[in-house]
Structure 1
Amino acid sequence: MADGTDVMADFSTLPDVVWVRILQYLPLRDRQEVASTCHLLHDAFNHPSLWRRQVLTFIGDKDNSSRKGIPVYPARHNMELTKQFGQYFQDLTIRVISHFRTMNSDLRELLVQVAENCRLESLTLDIGKQTSQFHKRYGFPPDPNAIATLETFVKTAFRMKHLAIMSWPMFKDKNESLFMALKSNEKLRDNLESMTLFWLDGAEWSEREPLLLSADDTVDLVRHFPYLTCLGLRSPMVNNGLLEMLAETSRAKLRTLKLVIHYLWQKRNFAVPQIEQKSWTALLNRNPDFRVEVTVFLATPTMELASMLTPEAPVSYFRFIKYSKLESSSLVKIYTQYSGTLTTFHSLCDSYEMDSELILLCEKCELLTDLIYHGEIYVNTVKCISKSRGRKWKRFELKDSSIKIHTEFDNIDNDLVLQRNEQGELIQLRLQRFLATDDEQLRTMREEVSSAIGEPWKPTVVKS
């Protein structure tokens, strides 16, 4: 005020809709504490829109080798909030950390009540570690009553449009009940638009040999959902029959097929399936806007990728996760075959001497606007590829520790280990390359990239 008197702002005059909006940005515990301060904030805390999206996380058993498992453990305040607001859930994730064995009767009752009363539009199930042959052979399956409780969410859903099953306990004679429940729900059949099964969404690792639905069982399941426009699967679950069925005129036009390439050498059930050119062509003829999104999970030779991803596959997204391997031949394949459709390229794995291929990728793929590359790359290459798209880049992320400067040792034979310097001393060339630094080159690079993309830019620091 003019007289210098301090006046506290009166936030109580803010409308409810503003407080609800503010509370949306707070973690649950902070939201609870804020709500306890006054009646106005308590009312805002109870607004149904705040409970539309929820994640229920439970701690499971450390292993599944004992006949009597430990029940999943929910936090008490989560139980109370779920009991109070579960009817408002619309976008729900249920996550069990470690092994899912059983749950107590109170929790089963509560989850069934939520499933029967909420109006789910989206459901994600991430239920424990993915089952492998080891878990199946030496472990015990979950309690059937606990499994039946989770299945209630798909049995009773009547407006669900999106379903993601990230992980599910797969045991012989136990693994089909969830998928049978999916197929038995006619409302789900009419409403479901997207479904992902055993997908990897941002995860760096997964079970190497998980138990999955077979390709034939996948075809049978997907056939029950004719209105799917987005489908996500791992490569062992895919065959030509699936793609041919997805292209049928009696179905909705498929918009996106998301594939995790899960390849293991000398494992027949994890070989990359051979997909015929005509299968991709049929999907494109059905919908010219159809696109394929590819995530490579483990090291997969280019020839294996080629058996599934023929030139006719309209790949728009290619992602190599941390523990995969990027070959130069794979990059050549990508910019040669998918230059007209590729919009996103992410490589989170270690890779070396790809500078010329990266430059060609950015030059030839004119739709490319999203680039993440964590492999080794030279400063001049960074500047070149930043200018290739300029302000069209929506994301341009490079790993700080992988950016290399140009040194006097660049043109020396890579097989040469030792060399005498001007003083006649023997030096290790690889060590000199590794230790070389030049702040001026790095500063100039940051300035030129920032100018090219039209906003301040610096490399990303990635924790190991």
Structure 2
Amino acid sequence: MSDRFAGEISVIDWTNLPEVILGNIFRHLPTVDRLSIGTVCVAWENAANRPEVWECFDFSEKDVDEFGNDLDLLRSELFFSDFDGSIQEAIIDTYISVIKQFGRSFRQVNVLFKGRNSNRILYTLSDCCCNITHLSLQRLPQNVQVVRNHDSSYRQAVYNIIQRNTKLDELIVRDIDNYADSQQKCPLPLGASHSCAIKALTIIQSFQSCNLGNFMYLVNLHELALEPHFLSYSLLHHLAGKSLRVLHILAVSKHMEFYNEALQDWQWREIKKQGPKLCVHCLFRVSHEWTEKDIILKKEIPMKCLKYAKYHLLNYPVLTGLVCNYSATLVDFIDFSPYQKSYELAQGKRSDQPQINSCILQIVVSCPLLRTLAVKEVLYSQNVLFMLSVNKNLDILLREDQIEYSEFNSHLIHPMSYEEYDLVCRSWINMENFEFAILQLTNRLWYFFKEGSEIYESFVKKHLKYL
């Protein structure tokens, strides 16, 4: 800095920034902030009306209904305005005016809807938007009374939005079906017009009664997430031969259908021949017993990630042999529960603890590509050290109360140097020795898994995003 400016305090005058620069700043703000930012001054109003500011659009009916969130500023502005009706209706009107004005500029759209107010948003989106590339539509859970008086008029709007936006690159549709009306036959709103665009598709608890033949058009589909009862040999064989590389099998909600086709090993072998680079990720949340048996866990599945997010404990004596079948492909094995009681239940099963520890060690020894291990069970400190001596790149995610500082004897111990074996055998005694041994074995610090921590948040975001 030159002497002429030394000691001076520089003040940035936002009103003098060019509109294009303000617009590039505003485009990164949440939608609720962009709704009201134009009221600050004329320059900001002009910048907020630039098309690039509105490439991303988010709407949540939950935020509209509830106070104490980011919409409070907009509520305060509308409260002193001259309008008829409720604050909620005024907020919906504000969203609708933005959609009508900038809908053709929308590229990424995320909508959480539940009631009739959302229907106005959905139908306006279907009328005004035709250039969306990323679309996420999810119906929020409703109370029993609302479900009994179910309003399915949003369906047509959802279909219209998907059908009209033929440039979709990613489509996520969740929970738009209700058990009461899932038998209603509706066409799948995908077709030849979407064939070259869609590369990622997620359909969960939606289009339950649709014929999935329209999926055959999606010749550039790279990633697909479906519930188990949607899977079919002909569909996967066809898509694997085109561009499908990642398949997510998601049992995340209860419904009457069973895994209806139960693909056989020979069918998975043929699918792998068609798509040798195909990887399968399974996520099971519900307590169907077949999620822990070879009904679905066939030996020939190219399993990369196997994840459980159940309340109850896994049957490791049955499951372990199946998991070890994926020794050439398995990267993540995760048994996680968002409920504290699940971990308390595991702590109470002391009689099974030696057997379960042996099973988990067997999984680690048998799967050399394994990089992430998360379980609900209590593990012996010496067993954890054995696992890290076998696989030094393994991330073991455990809570502090899941470690029992104790010896562990197993015939599955992998061959190791005398120095490592001696280190493991004398370092299980307490936390200090345990953490020092891990540092020596892996050259990494040990961290426990704590809810709310950065490790916890990144883990949930990466592995449990479909929940």
TM over 0.5: yes
CA distance in 2 between partners of 1:10 and 1:286 (Å): 60
Q: Counterpart in 1 of 2:399? A: 399
Decide whether aligned partners of structure 1 residues 105 and 296 sit closer, same or farther in structure 2, where only a CA change above 3 A counts. Answer: closer
Instruction: Name the Cα RMSD after superposition.
Output: 4.5
Q: Counterpart in 2 of 1:244? A: 234
Aligned residue identity for 2:368:
E
Decide whether aligned partners of structure 1 residues 357 and 120 sit closer, same or farther in structure 2, where only a CA change above 3 A counts. Answer: same
CA distance in 1 between partners of 2:360 and 2:385 (Å): 12
Q: Secondary structure at the residue paired with 1:169?
A: coil
Decide whether aligned partners of structure 1 residues 361 and 194 sit closer, same or farther in structure 2, where only a CA change above 3 A counts. Answer: same
Q: Counterpart in 2 of 1:75? A: 91
Preserved CA contact (<8 Å) 1:226 1:251: no
Task: Using the aligned pairs only, state the percent identity.
Answer: 15
Aligned-pair CA distance for 1:451: 5.6
CA distance in 1 between partners of 2:90 and 2:333 (Å): 39
Aligned residue identity for 2:136:
T
Decide whether aligned partners of structure 1 residues 104 and 452 sit closer, same or farther in structure 2, where only a CA change above 3 A counts. Answer: closer
Name structure 1 gaps, 5 residues minimum: 63-69, 200-210, 412-438
Q: Counterpart in 1 of 2:125? A: 111
Q: Secondary structure at the residue paired with 2:135?
A: strand
Preserved CA contact (<8 Å) 1:229 1:255: yes
CA distance in 2 between partners of 1:10 and 1:29 (Å): 25
CA distance in 2 between partners of 1:282 and 1:235 (Å): 19
TM-score normalised over the length of structure 2: 0.68
Matched, 1:254 2:244: yes
Q: 1:338 aligns with which of 299, 322, 326?
A: 326
Q: Counterpart in 2 of 1:232? A: 225
Question: Which shows bigger deviation, 441-450 or 158-167?
Answer: 441-450
CA distance in 2 between partners of 1:382 and 1:398 (Å): 10
Aligned-pair CA distance for 1:175: 4.5
- 5 Å-filtered alignment, 1:157-172, equals 157-170=165-178, 171-172=180-181
Q: Counterpart in 2 of 1:220? A: 213
Decide whether aligned partners of structure 1 residues 173 and 312 sit closer, same or farther in structure 2, where only a CA change above 3 A counts. Answer: closer
CA distance in 1 between partners of 2:317 and 2:260 (Å): 17
Q: Secondary structure at the residue paired with 2:195?
A: helix
CA distance in 2 between partners of 1:365 and 1:43 (Å): 58
- 5 Å-filtered alignment, 1:21-40, equals 27-29=30-32
Aligned-pair CA distance for 1:55: 2.4
Q: Secondary structure at the residue paired with 2:248?
A: strand
Matched, 1:125 2:137: yes
Decide whether aligned partners of structure 1 residues 339 and 79 sit closer, same or farther in structure 2, where only a CA change above 3 A counts. Answer: same
Q: Counterpart in 1 of 2:451? A: 462
CA distance in 2 between partners of 1:379 and 1:33 (Å): 55
Aligned-pair CA distance for 1:364: 2.3
Matched, 1:54 2:52: no
Aligned residue identity for 2:103:
G
Decide whether aligned partners of structure 1 residues 150 and 456 sit closer, same or farther in structure 2, where only a CA change above 3 A counts. Answer: same
Preserved CA contact (<8 Å) 1:359 1:381: yes
Preserved CA contact (<8 Å) 2:305 2:332: yes
Matched, 1:294 2:282: yes
Preserved CA contact (<8 Å) 1:314 1:341: yes
Aligned-pair CA distance for 1:386: 3.8
Preserved CA contact (<8 Å) 1:57 1:74: no
CA distance in 2 between partners of 1:372 and 1:316 (Å): 15
Aligned residue identity for 1:237:
F
CA distance in 2 between partners of 1:442 and 1:230 (Å): 42
Q: 1:102 aligns with which of 116, 122, 134?
A: 116
CA distance in 1 between partners of 2:368 and 2:236 (Å): 29
Q: Counterpart in 1 of 2:75? A: none
Residue-by-residue CA offset, 1:89-137 (whole Å, 9 max, x unaligned)? 22222112xxx34248864663234334xx1112121123389xx889x
- 5 Å-filtered alignment, 1:374-385, equals 374-385=376-387
Aligned-pair CA distance for 1:231: 2.2
Aligned-pair CA distance for 1:289: 0.8
Aligned-pair CA distance for 1:346: 1.5
CA distance in 1 between partners of 2:150 and 2:315 (Å): 40
Q: Counterpart in 1 of 2:194? A: 188
Aligned-pair CA distance for 1:159: 0.8
Q: Counterpart in 1 of 2:108? A: 91
CA distance in 1 between partners of 2:216 and 2:253 (Å): 25
Aligned-pair CA distance for 1:459: 0.8
Aligned-pair CA distance for 1:369: 1.8
TM-score normalised over the length of structure 1: 0.69
Q: 1:149 aligns with which of 149, 154, 157?
A: 157
Preserved CA contact (<8 Å) 2:299 2:322: no
CA distance in 2 between partners of 1:49 and 1:372 (Å): 42
Aligned-pair CA distance for 1:286: 0.5
Q: Counterpart in 2 of 1:7? A: 9
Decide whether aligned partners of structure 1 residues 376 and 250 sit closer, same or farther in structure 2, where only a CA change above 3 A counts. Answer: closer
Name structure 2 gaps, 5 residues minimum: 66-85, 410-427, 457-467
Aligned-pair CA distance for 1:16: 8.6
Q: 1:139 aligns with which of 135, 148, 151?
A: 148
Aligned residue identity for 1:111:
L
Q: Counterpart in 1 of 2:73? A: none
Aligned residue identity for 1:213:
Q
CA distance in 1 between partners of 2:260 and 2:313 (Å): 16
Preserved CA contact (<8 Å) 1:379 1:405: yes
